[in-house]
């Protein structure tokens, strides 16, 4: 059992190190950024240009502040990405007995190749343990803790992924419905435009009767309005659920950061320790801002004669 813990811990720690992103501290919180974003509108079809522009400008402003936050994080790290990777490779090599050259080669492999490599590595570790020889990087307590942390990390990531997987399904359903409704709308508009083009002009007139033009314009606008009335409730539902999911995910992101920090500390990777627990969650808020920015995509505006 001891060797199994060591084996799993070493493999898990290695793969985590390769995929790990080196980040540092800033003072802003995801809740603060979320509070700066505009609320979800209650209606989406007939809003005027100035309202939509103000909405978009506010999102752009908040994304700018998030960008400043990210820049502060980058500048405050005090460690270059090259140096951090060098430290990671050295630490992992020391703990696992795998050469740094082999680690660098592994980092450039495809996911399938990494999986095959991990299986081969595991088999070698098992064979070494069965032969009664010392397993590379063996440290029972540390390996057990790393294995436990990896299990916890997988659980947290699973909860976060479940939230966004549900949202992804909802988004795909909306896209599929949009495809159908767009075809229906375009077919109606094409019929109206043909009737408009074929409509006879008044006798001896050089242009169509303005009243006739207005009639057909209203019919086309009604097609756009019906399309918005069908799709906007789906968009509102999607954005609302996204916001609910984000609020639930924020504490999970903080916990994930805490687990990643302990993993880094156990591995002796001081450059990889994240001193701002909000880092992951702020990135999730920025993703939500992108979703929110598309909320008016079905807007038809008000009819102008």
| Other beta carbons less than 10 A from residue 174's beta carbon | 15
Cα separation values, 61 from 54, 64, 293, 301, Å: 10, 5, 12, 24
pLDDT in tens, 77-112: 555 556 666 666 666 666 666 777 777 777 787 877
- Residue 258 · residue 209 · CB < 8 Å: no
Domain boundaries, the chain: 2-292
Picking from 103, 8, 30, 6, the residue whose alpha carbon sits closest to that of residue 278 is: 30
| Other beta carbons less than 10 A from residue 78's beta carbon | 8
Cα separation values, 21 from 18, 81, 233, 274, Å: 9, 9, 38, 9
Picking from 161, 173, 158, the residue whose alpha carbon sits closest to that of residue 237 is: 173
**pTM higher than 0.75, yes or no?**
no
pLDDT in tens, 234-252: 999 999 999 999 999 999 9
Residue 266 has pLDDT above 50, yes or no: yes
Q: Name the DSSP letter for residue 272.
A: G
d(CA 140, CA 16): 19
d(CA 141, CA 2): 9
pLDDT in tens, 31-82: 999 999 999 999 999 999 999 999 999 999 999 999 988 888 767 655 555 6
- Alpha carbon 221 to chain centroid, angstroms: 35
């Amino acid at each position: 059992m001891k060797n199994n813990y060591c084996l799993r811990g070493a493999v898990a720690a290695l793969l985590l190190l390769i995929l790990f992103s080196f980040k540092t501290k800033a003072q802003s919180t995801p809740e603060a950024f979320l509070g700066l974003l505009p609320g979800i509108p209650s209606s989406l079809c007939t809003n005027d240009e100035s309202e939509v522009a103000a909405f978009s400008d506010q999102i752009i402003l908040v994304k700018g502040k998030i960008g400043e936050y990210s820049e502060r994080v980058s500048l405050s790290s005090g460690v270059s990405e090259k140096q951090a990777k060098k430290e990671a490779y050295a630490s992992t090599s020391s703990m696992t007995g795998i050469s740094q050259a082999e680690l660098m080669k592994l980092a450039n492999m495809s996911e399938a190749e990494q999986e095959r490599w991990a299986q081969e590595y595991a088999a070698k570790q098992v064979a070494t343990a069965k032969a009664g020889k010392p397993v590379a990087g063996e440290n029972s307590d540390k390996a057990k803790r790393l294995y436990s942390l990896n299990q916890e990390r997988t659980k947290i990531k699973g909860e976060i992924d479940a939230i966004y997987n549900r949202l992804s399904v909802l988004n795909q359903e909306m896209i599929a419905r949009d495809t159908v409704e767009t075809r229906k709308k375009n077919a109606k508009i094409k019929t109206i435009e043909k009737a408009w083009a074929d409509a006879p002009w008044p006798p001896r007139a050089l242009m169509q009767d303005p009243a006739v033009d207005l009639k057909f314009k209203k019919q086309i606008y009604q097609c756009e309005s019906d399309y918005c009335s069908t799709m906007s409730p789906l968009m509102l539902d999607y954005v609302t659920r996204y916001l609910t999911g984000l609020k639930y995910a924020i504490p999970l992101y903080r916990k994930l950061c805490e687990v990643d920090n302990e993993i880094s500390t156990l591995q002796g990777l001081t450059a990889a320790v994240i001193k701002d627990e909000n880092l992951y969650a702020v990135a999730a808020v920025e993703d939500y801002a992108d979703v929110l920015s598309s909320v008016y995509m079905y807007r038809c505006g008000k009819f102008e004669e």
